[in-house]
Structure 1
Amino acid sequence: MADRVYVIGVGMTKFEKPGRREDWDYPQMAKESGTRALEDAGIPYDQVEQTYVGYVYGESTSGQRAVYELGLTGIPVVNVNNNCSTGSAALYLAAQVIRGGLADCTLALGFEKMQPGSLGATFTDREQPLMRHMGALAEISEVILPPAPWMFGAAGREHMKTYGTTAEHFAKIGQKNHRHSVNNPYSQFQDEYTLEDILGSRMIYDPLTKLQCSPTSDGSGAAILASESFVDRNNLAAQAVEIVGQAMTTDFRSTFDGTAKNIVGYDMNVQAARRVYEQSGLGPEDFQVIELHDCFSANELLLYEALGLCGEGEAGSLIDNNETTYGGRWVVNPSGGLISKGHPLGATGLAQCAELTWQLRGTADKRQVEGVTAGLQHNIGLGGAAVVTAYQRAER
């Protein structure tokens, strides 16, 4: 019988513009987030039995160097890289070990120290992982660099052509997430903008303007996971949040079916969400708060449909009716999301976990959503992997 998995401690750094904090290298980032998570859990590092550390940009065994700031205990430390879903991939592995009865307490930690500007290739002497995806998209869309805004922007254009979605719908998502970030002290940006500001900012790839695109960021996040017996032994039920469903998917044949939305992971997201709903017994209507992967506003719009918040082609109506902000059916990205909170790739999924843990505990301060009983997390990396996780308070 699979063991139950609980989040007992979370911590993160403020997400920063790359290079903004002097003498803030990845070991210092990891120490900051990891120490906060351990303090939140109320346990020392020597109770952690395995650690999974996510980062995209860095040398081999950077994960070990990072967590050595927390302690030198000889435990297994596994380095994880899954593009933009790296943090959630580390979370998935740390949970899997507990679920399988191989450990009682694990740490998932993610960090990123990034270069300013658009993402670029590090190794240019070999095929890039996204070449097949980009080649498939090039058959149905003009090729524009850098690739990320082109790929998600093309999916947005496809939705506009198919369903009549407008540039204003995408801009409203950017406006919402920037507005939410005003109340998040961990957010890279904490400025509110008008819809005109969003629409009038520099065009990156039509319909995506700069204020609808996630920035490069430095930062770290961490989560301590535990088994039910560990929670009971240490009297942690009052703060524990249970992972009641979790799934990771990678690309299907449908990824290359000739649609832009599947090239950027739509079907991966659908399948991962379905598995989580089956595992948890919960449906979209049972969640009050959602942290999802809004690397670009176009992706958030597509995710409303992929996660089942509405039917295909109905996301525009959801936005126009303010159903994804405070006062609506769901509060999506109360943290400000990737667009405003920032997107240090290895840390993103763990920051989402932290936000949902605080929401379920009722400790999210000005961002707190009323009556939270369940939270949903989505994180994706092209090339590709999608991770969806459902959470509930332990006592429920």
Structure 2
Amino acid sequence: MAQKAFIVGVGMTKFEKPESRDWQYWDMVKEAGGKALADAGVGYDKVEQAPVGYCFQASTAGQRAVYELGLSGIPVYNVNNNCATGSSALMMARQFVAGGLNDCVLAIGFEKMKRGSLGGGGEGDFSTSPVARHYKIMGDAHGFSMTAPPTAQIFGNAAREHMARYGTTAEQIAHVGVKNHRHSVNNPYAQFQVEYSLDEVLAAKEIHSPLTRLQCSPTSDGAAAAVVVSERFVREHGLEEQAIEILAQSMTTDTEESFASNSCIDVVGKPMSAAAGRQVFEQSGLGIEDVDVIELHDCFSINEILTYEALGMCGEGEGGKLVAEGATTYGGRWVVNPSGGLISKGHPLGATGLAQAAEISWQLRGLADARQVADAKVGLTHNIGLGGAAVVGLYRRGQF
């Protein structure tokens, strides 16, 4: 990229259970986008373009949402990339700025969801489903249950494969839920703020063995936003003290590696995550050992473990041991999902990737209050969607 790009303002709503608040998606965007602009100290009139991510609303819902912030006539792009939608919108914003097209872009993600488990595209006519190939591999290897949500099945079966292949235990996988629920206690934006013991996580209602309810992300309502600007904009507006540089970003999609093994571990995106991670480290010249704080896509507890391995935080099959030994919480080698992650913060699909960026921005600016990671200098985000897309980003305080 020709120019550096910086996040200078972030904002989000509290993530909430669907239908628990009387609001529309444009109300969410007005709140989150307004907070991001206020954090940056700039008006909507400075925004030149707006990529807006969501999965479940109608076409041009992005325009309807940002019209609450202003009617300036700027280009609005409607982005839908399954659960990686928010990070895809952020990546577009960075490309607009780093490519020299714009000095100020507003990236937004939102979702207004229905109560109940997410279908995930696995039910109905497989011939027309975007994830038909993914679920066919699962069905051929493990069968397809009509009683469990499809997404829980495919990730639960990935967990079973990991257990069979590496000796990973249900207790090790459950430690992810224990950790992330504990972290969310200090996050006022989190949908859940209750701490659970390992026994409680294991004893919760089983969704698809070995995954229990407290190891699965909930459906959620919410929005998040980030103001992405050029170095020139930072200097002209005196934003050096709060500017977070997006050092590197990469989006990858499925390759033959995702399907060749006929394994749910690969079908749910581990090869995509590994490739995106390698690319951002190559772009930045940094490695996972340089990272202090991580927000990653723990849609189900097993996916956090798979992502540890994909990012090189441990060897193949060692992710369960890593979390059980405390290496990914306060006092460990990294702090992973200080926000509570998707499992406890919530998962409004279009907003998740931008909420991750907001948390990393607060952490690197020292604004995360009781969940602050001490002396955090480099942060990483990882956001993945079946079908598929994986987006990894690397961030640090701006150096001027």
Tell me what 1:19 maps to. 19
Counterpart-to-counterpart distance in 2, 1:316 and 1:187: 25
Contact 1:7-1:242 within 8 A present in 2 as well: yes
Alpha carbons of structure 1 residues 121 and 325: separation in structure 2 relative to 1, 3 Å = closer
Once the two structures are superposed, residues 51-108 of structure 1 have per-residue CA deviations (whole angstroms, 9 ceiling, x without a partner) of 0000000111000000000001011000000000000000011111111111111010
Tell me what 2:64 maps to. 65
Kindly indicate whether residue 180 of structure 2 is the aligned counterpart of residue 177 of structure 1. Answer: yes
Once the two structures are superposed, residues 222-268 of structure 1 have per-residue CA deviations (whole angstroms, 9 ceiling, x without a partner) of 00000111111111111000000100001101111112111000000
Kindly indicate whether residue 2 of structure 2 is the aligned counterpart of residue 2 of structure 1. Answer: yes
Once the two structures are superposed, residues 135-181 of structure 1 have per-residue CA deviations (whole angstroms, 9 ceiling, x without a partner) of 12212112124210011111111110011000001111100000000
Counterpart-to-counterpart distance in 2, 1:235 and 1:89: 28
Once the two structures are superposed, residues 353-390 of structure 1 have per-residue CA deviations (whole angstroms, 9 ceiling, x without a partner) of 00000000001000000011100000000000000000
Tell me what 2:142 maps to. 141
Q: Which structure 2 residues correspond to residues 1-396 of structure 1 after superposition, within 5 A?
A: 2-22=2-22, 24-120=23-119, 127-144=128-145, 145-257=148-260, 258-395=262-399
Once the two structures are superposed, residues 104-130 of structure 1 have per-residue CA deviations (whole angstroms, 9 ceiling, x without a partner) of 110100000000111137897871111
Counterpart-to-counterpart distance in 2, 1:72 and 1:222: 18
Once the two structures are superposed, residues 314-343 of structure 1 have per-residue CA deviations (whole angstroms, 9 ceiling, x without a partner) of 112212220000000000000000000000
Counterpart-to-counterpart distance in 2, 1:320 and 1:372: 23
Contact 2:119-2:151 within 8 A present in 1 as well: no
Counterpart-to-counterpart distance in 2, 1:132 and 1:209: 26
Gaps of 5+ in 1: none
- Displacement, 1:305? 0.2
Counterpart AA for 1:161: A
Contact 2:120-2:151 within 8 A present in 1 as well: no
Contact 1:11-1:222 within 8 A present in 2 as well: yes
Contact 2:246-2:394 within 8 A present in 1 as well: yes
Once the two structures are superposed, residues 180-207 of structure 1 have per-residue CA deviations (whole angstroms, 9 ceiling, x without a partner) of 0000000000000111110000000111
Corresponding residue SS for 1:238: helix
Contact 1:238-1:395 within 8 A present in 2 as well: no
Counterpart-to-counterpart distance in 2, 1:91 and 1:320: 32
- Displacement, 1:394? 0.1
What is the aligned-residue identity percentage?
61
Contact 1:97-1:103 within 8 A present in 2 as well: yes
Equivalenced residues, count: 395
Counterpart-to-counterpart distance in 2, 1:78 and 1:160: 42
Gaps of 5+ in 2: none
Corresponding residue SS for 2:241: coil
Contact 1:121-1:128 within 8 A present in 2 as well: no
Once the two structures are superposed, residues 206-229 of structure 1 have per-residue CA deviations (whole angstroms, 9 ceiling, x without a partner) of 110000000000000000000111
Runs ≥4 residues deviating over 3 A? 121-126
Contact 1:130-1:383 within 8 A present in 2 as well: yes
Counterpart-to-counterpart distance in 2, 1:177 and 1:69: 34
Counterpart-to-counterpart distance in 2, 1:121 and 1:383: 10
